[in-house]
Structure 1
């Protein structure tokens, strides 16, 4: 009479030990493979991170700052990097065909926004009719600054109730982002950005999120601190006259 197969208990002192006996057991699947040592993987990741940091050490430098590093960096490398920066700036300049905020009229909306978005990103500011809307005034000011800085993106503006009859004042300002004939993002009021403290950093972050600009865009390299930007934007908007209101 055949005896049924019975599990065999193999004595193992330390399954993780590098012994000939354990190698035999692993080969026959009696004990699992020894876990890989994570240390080499960690060290490799750290080396790669350090290498990337070294390669990108000049990313936040403008042309003047690059010139100041001539005694610290390899001259040939600096020259190559400077030429890359100039080439990128030249490319962006050629694409910067807008450079201002375009006032919209409802009959021309499809042509000036929807159709135009097949060529570039189009950002529409549905603004308020009342000068007491602080967020609308802030965005109007930032819209001007962004339009000049990112001339390859078309920035437009129209009073919300003239564009959409009965559009609630409480929903202004509203940002509509168009690309390839469709609305890619809708931002109702500045609450989803930074409220009354919204500044150019927040507008740039929105442009990054929708893909209108890329993270390595040289125009994002700024020396200003967030505090300086906030301090500059807020009084400028509050002191501004109501000339920006649409009739």
Structure 2
């Protein structure tokens, strides 16, 4: 006759009197706590959330556009929705630039000539291996960060203009509304020492080329120009003081 071995398993977490005695004697590990499922909580209903400014702030640009006809009964929220949507669109526009973008000859029309009319484009004609080009490029990279609503691009000179003379490098072209507004040939167009402050001052002499993206009105452009002039003067004064300190220490 076959042997049958029956193993009894109690409900999970339950314990027999024998097990309790053995645990008291230290022969068995402590009894694990009984499993308790977490209490049921229904998922939050987005439609039941209170509609206030924080509710608007959590929406994406697409969601704000979809709410256009849903807030007609709440004038405050509708106005705030429009304000928030305008801020997001402006931020998207500003963040589009912020660096010096490399382009090729085939990109020129799309990236420069066909740029939006309210965008100024600064084009660097350069070649690798020219120290002067590298110096001006570093200045433009700094300006591109400070003025992210101005578009900065760089292109190999001969890809832009066939047979363009190397002696004219680096060259800056300034475009707006598809037309050349200014051109600067050679590094000395920006003074004896090419600095970001000096380049910014030259670019803003006749047109509001540099745009920090804060606003598009005349007052903002005036503030940008005043800031450019102030930083240029501060740079000159600092360099002059450094030279004086160096001369004094050598005496």
TM norm structure 2:
0.49
> Based on CA coordinates, which of the two structures has the bigger radius of gyration?
2
Q: Bigger relative contact order, structure 1 or 2, given CA contacts below 8 A and separation 6+?
A: 1
TM norm structure 1:
0.50
